[in-house]
Structures are given as structure tokens and as C-alpha cells.
């Protein structure tokens, strides 16, 4: 078994060397990581850059209530670029409040949205586990809560995504089961709900969008011309009475400022799919990402680039382990994209072994070609929530990780902040050291070779006699006399490497 794994690893190495001219552009280096613990399980959602250059970490902390039911409170922190806390705010009301998205306002404050079962001014109907209205709240630049609002009907209504429009209004996208209260009309058992509010949280426009069954809006983005994009999932191919799909399909629509749907596209998959994040590029193309079920392979990470009319230009699927989940995509200054997500099992192209859910980042160039992919994890669950481009080549990522800050016998989920910096291949600074006087060694004598490098995590030696090694400091003996060229390849990340040779051929006598 070990010999088989070693052979597969060598095959992977040679594959990476074969595509090096295309892929070996930059590699990621983890330069900082910090953890943030509240009393309960902490579930991050969003990461923002504040106007003064700090970082906003937003999510929820989950604790059992008096009845023993898990209940969430909104938790928002501000930290500096080294991860030091500047302030934090936890919102505790009579019930459960869950933050889903957050945005910086023109006055440097924060507008956040989610779901609440505390601020409900009407009677909710149905299973108590599905009670809730859309939550909207505002904090000032120091984290002080200025106001809280809720909107909805008598069934479950919740918000998932938020974007600021061109007239300082905000579009909130989510889902509704209601047909009363603040929701007028409806199409299926649940519909996409597009709610537009002003900077005081007062409604300007409310519109359900749906088909014949369940639809959910999961992501939204503002277009250059002021239109909105809404991504999500749908069981139906259009408005009732069109047919119902047995599995939810990824769905994307474009909507004008007045709420008119310009076009709507569905992307069916045999086992179901969803599109959870979307953005528009500076040239007007649309990038949308999510995950889709592939029979026999599990759930794979999936992203597309479309033109302004919703027609596919690029379609990419990245097979990994059994379950891949996309949580966020962000445009990079060079026209590329960085994606964040998590995987239940490790992908075939990564030789490291971890466990549970693992946090991953994936970086592509403007043409959609892979630049690098990096996974972070341990024996328990780690999940990515968001990724932020702080400046070209410097990224901050936010996720969750199991730790035990309170007691050694108790493991909690905590916010996990990482800073990742991109470097070109020559930053690896690979070199070879060998214990040989004047580059001469006797045959059948073990000789120590040592890899020298600034950055690197894997190694491939070619000793010139048909033998290789993947150790950083292998012990090697030659059977035959002669002149040999010794080469070393140092790998940094999954797609970047630097190859060097001894300045002179090694003489074996």
C-alpha cells in the first residue's frame, strides 16, 4: 500500500511539472492566523474591510437557551490587520437572531441582515422551528447598535444576501413562505424575496419571485448599469404551472432597479445544484459559483462565467472528495477570482492528509485557469466562510475551526482569521547542498543531500542515475562511477515549483 501511494504521488508530481509553464505563476503562504472565542459555538459568515483599513468579522455565537434548544446571537468584531481586537458587539434579545450578511454604510457604520424570531410583530403559524422574520440592523462605526427592524409574514421569512444599490438603497435577497404581512402575492411553497430598503431600514420595494415550487435567493450583486443579479436554487423551471424538478437546480436571474426580471436561467444537474455567490466583472461578464451533485462523485465545486444575457462562456467543475461546498467568491485586481469553501474529504491532487471538513481557497486568473489551491485543516472540522482581497497579492480569509479555549475536555467552533500572501516562483529560493569535497564522492558510500529553500512543502530529487527521492534531506549512494547531474524541484502550494541543479555535475569515483 505504501509503495502504491508513493507511486501515485510521483505521478502527481510529474503532472505538476508537465503543466508548470501554465500553472507555476504564484503560490500562497500563510503569514498570520488568529482565533476568536465566544462562550458558545461561533459560526462566522462575512469578512469586510472597514473604511479605516481594519477588518470586520461578522457571524453568530450559538448557545442552548433555557429550554435546551440551540439559539444564535449576532456577534460582530472589529480587528486590526494583525488580528488584535478593537471592539466587539453581541446582540442578545429574547429569542434567536442569526446574521447572514453585512455591508459598510456611507457613514462608516454597518448594515446587517439575517433572520429573527424575537422581533416578530404578528402571530407566526406552523412549526415553531420554522418561525422567523427577516432581520435588518444598523451599527455605527464603533459597533453600537443604532436600530433593529424586522419584516415578514406569518410564516418563515429569512434573508441571505445584501448589496448596496446605486441610489444608496440596499437590496436584501432571501426566501419567504408567507403570503401576507409585508409579502404581497406568491407563486410556490417558498419564493425568492427581493426586499429593497433605504439607509434607515424602511422598505422601498418588496417583490416575491418564484415558480411552481421552492425557490431561494442565496447571493446577490450590483451590475455596472444598476441592475441586480440574484443567484440561488429552484425546484421549478419558471412560474406556475411549469413543471417541478425532483432536485433543486442552480438558478440565476437579472433584475432591474424597478424589480422587472430581465432574464432568468436555470442550470439543471442530475443530482441537484445550487449557485450561492455571484459577481459582475469590470467588462460586464458574470461569474457565479456554487456546487452540484455529480453521480458517482459526490458534490463538486462548480463555477461559470456568463455574458450579460446569461449565456455560458465558461463552465468549470472541480472534483474533490465526497462533499465540496462553495461559500464565497471575490474578484481580484488582475481580473481573476478567489473562491472560498470547504471539503469533506481531500481532493486527489493534494498529498496532505487531514480529517473532517477542511477549509480551502482556490485562485484563478482572468481566463479561468487555476493559479493555486490551498487547503487548511486538522483532524476536526474547519470551514471557510469568506475571503477578502486586501490588496494585490494579500488576502484575508475567515472561517471556523474547532478549538478548546475554555476547557480541555470541550471543543468549540471558533472564528478563524487567516492572512495569505502570494509570491512568485523565484521566492522559493531553492538550492542544493551536498557533503562532497570538490563535488566528488566515492561510489557505494551514503552521502547526505539537503534541500535549501525559503518556501516549500514538497520535494522531488532526480539523482541522474534513474533514482528519485521525495525527502528534504535524503541519504544517497551511487553504485557506478561516472558524472551525474543532480536536480531538485521544490514545490510550494499545489501548482508552483522551482527546479535547480548542482552548479557542476557530481563526480562519482
Give the three-class secondary structure for 2. Answer: helix
Cα pseudo-dihedral 126, 127, 133, 134, rounded to 10: -120
Give one DSSP letter per residue of 213-276, joined into a string: SBEEEEEEEE-TTS-EEEEEEEEESSSTTSPEEEEEEEEEEEE-TTS-EEEEEEE--TT-EEEE
pLDDT digits (tens, 9 = 90+) for 133-164: 999 999 999 999 999 999 998 889 999 999 99
Average pLDDT over residues 319-326: 76
SS (H, E, C) 13-68: HHHHHHCHHHHCCCEEEEEEEEEECCCCEEEEEEEEECCCCCEEEEEEEEEECCCC
Gap between the Cα atoms of 347 and 350, Å rounded: 6
Res 263: pLDDT: 96
Q: How many residues can be counted in the chain?
A: 509
* Whether the predicted pLDDT of 409 surpasses 60: no
pLDDT digits (tens, 9 = 90+) for 247-263: 788 999 999 999 999 99
pLDDT digits (tens, 9 = 90+) for 181-206: 888 877 767 899 999 999 999 999 99
* Whether the predicted pLDDT of 18 surpasses 80: no
Res 254: pLDDT: 97
Give the three-class secondary structure for 402. Answer: strand
* Mean pLDDT, the chain, whole residue set: 85
Average pLDDT over residues 458-484: 94
Average pLDDT over residues 476-487: 94
pLDDT band at 6 (very low <50, low <70, confident <90, very high): very low
pTM for the structure as a whole: 0.84
Res 17: pLDDT: 37
Res 352: pLDDT: 43
Res 64: pLDDT: 73
Torsion sign over Cα 235, 337, 173, 64: positive
Res 66: pLDDT: 63
Gap between the Cα atoms of 389 and 370, Å rounded: 17
Query: Among candidates 429, 420, 432, 425, which has minimal Cα distance to 496?
Result: 425
For the domain 428-508, what is the CATH code?
2.60.40.10
C-alpha distances (whole Å) from 446 to each of 313, 430, 434, 452, 508 are 56, 23, 11, 19, 12
Give one DSSP letter per residue of 452-470, joined into a string: E-SS-SEEEEE-SSS-EE-
Gap between the Cα atoms of 92 and 60, Å rounded: 11
Helix, strand, coil percentages, rounded to 5, for the chain: 5, 55, 40
Instruction: Count the alpha carbons within 13 Å of 24 in the hemisphere toward its beta carbon.
Output: 20
C-alpha distances (whole Å) from 72 to each of 38, 124, 215, 320, 398 are 12, 19, 25, 32, 19
Query: Among candidates 209, 320, 226, 227, which has minimal Cα distance to 218?
Result: 209
Res 57: pLDDT: 98
- Whole-number percent of the chain with pLDDT over 70: 85
pLDDT band at 1 (very low <50, low <70, confident <90, very high): very low
Exposed (0-12), middle (13-18) or buried (19+): which is 310, by Cβ within 10 Å? Answer: middle
Gap between the Cα atoms of 278 and 289, Å rounded: 6
* Whether the predicted pLDDT of 384 surpasses 60: yes
Gap between the Cα atoms of 217 and 171, Å rounded: 12
Reading across the β-sheet that carries 203-209, which strands appear in turn?
Answer: 157-164, 170-176, 191-197, 203-209
**Is 423 in contact with 451 (CB distance < 8 Å)?**
no
Which residues in 311-381 belong to E strands, given as ranges? 312-318, 324-331, 337-343, 358-364, 370-376
Kindly state the DSSP code that residue 130 receives in the 8-state scheme: G
Gap between the Cα atoms of 427 and 21, Å rounded: 16
Name the residue ranges covered by the structural domains of the chain: 428-508
Query: Among candidates 118, 83, 115, which has minimal Cα distance to 98?
Result: 115
Strand partners, 364: 337, 370
Res 61: pLDDT: 94
Res 324: pLDDT: 86
Amino acid at each position: 500500500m505504501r509503495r502504491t501511494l508513493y507511486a501515485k504521488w510521483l505521478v502527481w508530481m510529474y503532472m505538476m511539472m508537465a503543466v508548470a509553464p501554465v500553472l507555476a505563476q504564484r503560490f500562497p503562504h500563510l503569514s498570520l492566523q488568529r482565533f476568536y472565542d465566544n462562550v458558545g459555538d461561533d459560526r462566522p459568515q462575512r469578512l469586510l474591510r472597514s473604511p479605516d483599513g481594519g477588518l470586520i468579522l461578522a457571524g453568530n455565537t450559538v448557545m442552548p437557551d433555557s429550554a435546551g434548544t440551540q439559539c444564535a446571537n449576532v456577534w460582530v468584531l472589529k480587528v486590526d490587520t494583525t488580528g488584535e481586537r478593537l471592539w466587539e458587539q453581541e446582540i442578545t434579545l429574547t429569542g434567536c437572531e442569526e446574521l447572514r450578511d453585512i455591508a459598510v454604510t456611507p457613514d462608516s457604520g454597518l448594515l446587517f441582515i439575517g433572520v429573527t424570531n424575537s422581533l416578530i410583530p404578528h402571530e407566526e403559524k406552523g412549526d415553531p422551528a420554522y418561525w422567523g422574520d427577516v432581520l435588518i440592523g444598523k451599527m455605527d462605526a464603533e459597533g453600537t447598535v443604532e436600530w433593529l427592524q424586522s419584516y415578514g409574514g406569518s410564516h418563515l421569512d429569512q434573508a441571505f444576501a445584501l448589496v448596496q444599490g446605486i441610489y444608496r438603497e440596499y437590496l436584501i435577497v432571501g426566501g419567504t413562505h408567507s403570503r401576507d404581512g409585508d409579502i404581497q402575492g406568491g407563486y410556490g411553497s417558498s419564493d425568492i424575496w427581493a426586499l429593497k430598503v433605504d439607509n434607515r431600514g424602511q422598505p422601498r420595494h418588496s417583490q416575491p419571485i418564484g415558480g411552481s415550487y421552492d425557490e431561494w435567493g442565496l447571493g446577490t450583486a450590483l451590475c455596472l448599469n444598476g441592475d441586480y443579479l440574484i443567484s440561488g436554487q429552484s425546484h421549478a423551471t419558471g412560474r406556475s404551472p411549469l413543471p417541478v424538478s425532483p432536485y433543486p437546480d442552480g438558478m440565476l436571474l437579472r433584475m432591474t432597479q424597478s424589480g422587472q426580471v430581465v432574464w432568468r436561467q436555470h442550470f439543471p444537474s442530475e443530482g441537484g445544484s445550487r449557485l450561492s455567490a455571484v459577481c459582475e466583472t469590470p467588462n460586464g461578464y458574470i461569474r457565479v459559483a456554487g456546487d452540484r451533485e455529480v453521480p458517482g462523485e459526490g458534490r463538486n465545486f462548480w463555477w461559470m462565467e456568463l455574458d450579460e444575457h446569461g449565456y455560458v462562456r465558461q463552465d468549470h467543475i472541480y472534483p474533490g472528495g465526497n462533499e465540496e461546498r462553495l461559500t464565497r467568491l471575490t474578484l481580484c485586481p488582475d481580473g481573476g477570482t478567489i473562491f472560498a469553501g470547504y471539503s469533506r474529504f481531500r481532493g486527489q491532487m493534494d498529498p496532505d492528509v487531514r480529517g473532517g471538513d477542511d477549509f480551502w481557497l482556490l485562485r484563478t486568473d482572468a481566463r479561468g485557469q487555476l493559479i493555486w489551491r490551498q487547503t487548511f485543516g486538522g483532524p476536526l472540522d474547519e470551514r471557510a466562510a469568506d475571503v477578502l482581497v486586501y490588496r494585490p497579492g494579500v488576502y484575508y480569509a475567515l472561517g471556523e475551526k474547532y478549538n478548546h479555549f475554555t476547557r480541555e475536555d470541550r471543543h468549540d467552533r471558533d472564528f478563524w482569521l487567516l492572512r495569505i500572501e502570494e509570491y512568485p516562483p523565484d521566492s522559493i529560493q531553492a538550492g542544493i547542498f551536498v557533503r562532497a569535497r570538490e563535488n566528488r564522492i566515492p561510489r557505494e558510500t551514503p552521502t547526505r543531500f539537503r534541500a535549501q529553500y525559503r518556501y516549500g512543502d514538497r520535494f522531488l530529487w532526480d539523482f541522474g542515475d534513474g533514482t528519485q527521492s521525495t525527502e528534504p534531506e535524503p541519504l544517497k549512494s551511487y553504485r557506478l562511477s561516472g558524472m551525474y547531474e543532480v536536480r531538485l524541484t521544490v514545490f510550494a502550494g499545489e501548482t508552483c515549483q522551482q527546479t535547480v541543479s548542482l552548479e557542476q555535475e557530481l563526480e562519482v569515483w
